[in-house]
Amino acid sequence: MKHRLPLLALLLLLAAACSAPNEPTRLQGEAQGTFYTIAYCDKQHRDLRPQIDSLLHAFDLTASLWEENSLIRQANLHQPTHVNSTFCHLLNNSLQMEQYTQGAFNCKIGALVNLYGFGFENRSDITDVQVDSLLRLIHQGQCTLTLDADSLPTVILSPGVQLDFNAIAQGYSVDLLAALFDSLDVTDYLIDVGGEVRAKGSKPDGTPWAVGIERPAQNKYSAQEIETAIALTNRSVVTSGNYRKYYEQDGVRYSHTIDPATGRPVSHSLLSASVVSAEAWYADAMATAFMVMGLERSLQFIQDHPDNPDIQAAFFIYHDGSEYRTLATPAFQDIIIQ
Ligand code: AMP
Ligand code: MG
């Protein structure tokens, strides 16, 4: 026999999932080793948590390096691995961004990320010989996506090549959630997965969604403070910073962003780069690429690509030797609200 909830209990449960009038529904949870916060206004007052959680779980099974049975972990064992369409998109988008950013973005550097201890292995003592030989394998190595005899997409990595989608994974998962909300006819939402944000429509009172950009933290344990806030309408904003994920050795701080040209963690004055784009994965990729390029090269890159609206609004926080400073491009200045 099926157990039926009394109608009143059912109504109370539904009410709990709904928001007060003029207040968006807010959900929080965990995904990809970080937290998500989602606000949305749904005329039908649906509780979308089950769909959100199952989407994020499926995504982790594809792209998370922390999920033991994920497709990316299997591929990194250098066995031919059948992959799904999300994996193919992540890989193709990453390879495209490698070209576009002149190599600053590179998803094949997983072995170096692990070597420096930012992956799931502990950092070992690192020698120049190790770094250089890995770098050679990465640059000469292949990452092949083919169709097998049954027409299933299959990825094969050559020795030394290990995939790492972390620089776009959170942004990409934000886009997948946005597609879910769109398919459910939710027209107003603000999705934040680990600080990667995408907004659509507006708040219930008609004003734009507001998003804060974090002030550089003293260290990884410092409380979050807001440096500036922007109005975000039908766009995404992603920030990459080197002040929360790093390691220190002999008083030197090493960033979790690797420069694929040198094989070493980047070390320059740029503390964070924020990019506003239509899609969150794109902003995520460019924010990481800008962290590799550093301030001057990033500004030059933006200037050299005036026809790309997805990189024109950018915000940089950098250290000038004595204190931190900020630089907002004109398109970014236009959306600052505070
Ligand atoms: P993000 O926080 O989006 O900048 O992503 C940083 C993460 O991306 C690192 O923790 C690495 O896993 C990976 N990564 C580091 N350097 C690069 C790079 N040059 N290109 C692509 N991914 C990178
Ligand atoms: Mg990124």
Confidence band (pLDDT; 50, 70, 90) for 186?
Answer: very high
Token digits for 80?
Answer: 């031919």
266-275 confidence digits (pLDDT tens): 988 999 999 9
Could you tell which of 96, 108, 257 is best to mutate to test the pocket of ligand 1, judged by most ligand atoms within 8 Å of the CB?
257
CB 238 within 8 A of CB 284: yes
Closest residue to atom 3 of ligand 1, CA basis:
167
Mean pLDDT taken over the chain = 89
Of the candidates 79, 337, 91, the one whose C-alpha atom is nearest the C-alpha of residue 228 is 337
pLDDT of residue 193: 95
CA–CA separation, 71 and 81 (whole Å)? 7
CA–CA separation, 74 and 62 (whole Å)? 10
Please report, as a single letter, which amino acid is at residue 287. Answer: A
CA-CA-CA-CA torsion for 236, 239, 240, 246, nearest 10 degrees? Answer: -130
CA angle, 302 then 290 then 101, to 5°: 70
Of the candidates 102, 116, 110, the one whose C-alpha atom is nearest the C-alpha of residue 138 is 110
pLDDT at 10 over 90: no
72-97 confidence digits (pLDDT tens): 999 999 999 999 999 999 999 999 99
**Ligand nearest to C-alpha 242:** 1
CA–CA separation, 174 and 190 (whole Å)? 10
Give the largest Cα separation in the chain, rounded: 72
pLDDT of residue 322: 87
Confidence band (pLDDT; 50, 70, 90) for 171?
Answer: very high
pLDDT at 199 over 60: yes
Ligand 1 nearest-atom number relative to CA 291:
4
Q: Which is more confident, 310 or 223?
A: 310
Q: How far is CA 291 from the centre of its chain?
A: 13
The phi, psi pair for 125, rounded to 5°, reads -70, 130
DSSP 8-state code for residue 309? T
What share of the chain in percent tops pLDDT 70? 87
Confidence band (pLDDT; 50, 70, 90) for 312?
Answer: very high
- Give me the mean pLDDT over the 44-59 stretch: 95
pLDDT at 4 over 50: no
Closest residue to atom 7 of ligand 1, CA basis:
167
pLDDT at 67 over 80: yes
CA–CA separation, 299 and 274 (whole Å)? 12
Does 113 contact ligand 1 (Cβ within 6 A)?
Answer: yes
Ligand 1 nearest-atom number relative to CA 65:
12
**pTM, to two decimals:** 0.91
Q: Where are the beta strands (DSSP E) in the chain?
A: 25-31, 34-41, 81-82, 143-147, 153-157, 188-193, 196-200, 209-214, 226-232, 236-241, 246-249, 252-255, 258-259, 264-265, 270-277, 313-319, 324-328
pLDDT of residue 12: 31
- Give me the mean pLDDT over the 34-55 stretch: 94
pLDDT at 71 over 80: yes
User: Angle, to 10 degrees, between the axis of helix 85-100 and the axis of helix 49-63?
Assistant: 60
102-151 confidence digits (pLDDT tens): 999 999 999 999 988 876 566 667 889 999 999 999 999 889 999 988 88
Q: Give residue 285 CA to ligand 1 midpoint distance, Å.
A: 8
pLDDT of residue 6: 32
Does 257 contact ligand 1 (Cβ within 6 A)?
Answer: yes
Ligand 1 nearest-atom number relative to CA 288:
4
CA–CA separation, 332 and 311 (whole Å)? 10
Classify residue 255 by burial, with Cβ atoms within 10 Å: 0-12, 13-18, 19+: buried
Could you tell which of 95, 112, 139, 258 is best to mutate to test the pocket of ligand 1, judged by most ligand atoms within 8 Å of the CB?
258
Could you tell which of 32, 66, 168, 256 is best to mutate to test the pocket of ligand 1, judged by most ligand atoms within 8 Å of the CB?
256
pLDDT at 192 over 70: yes
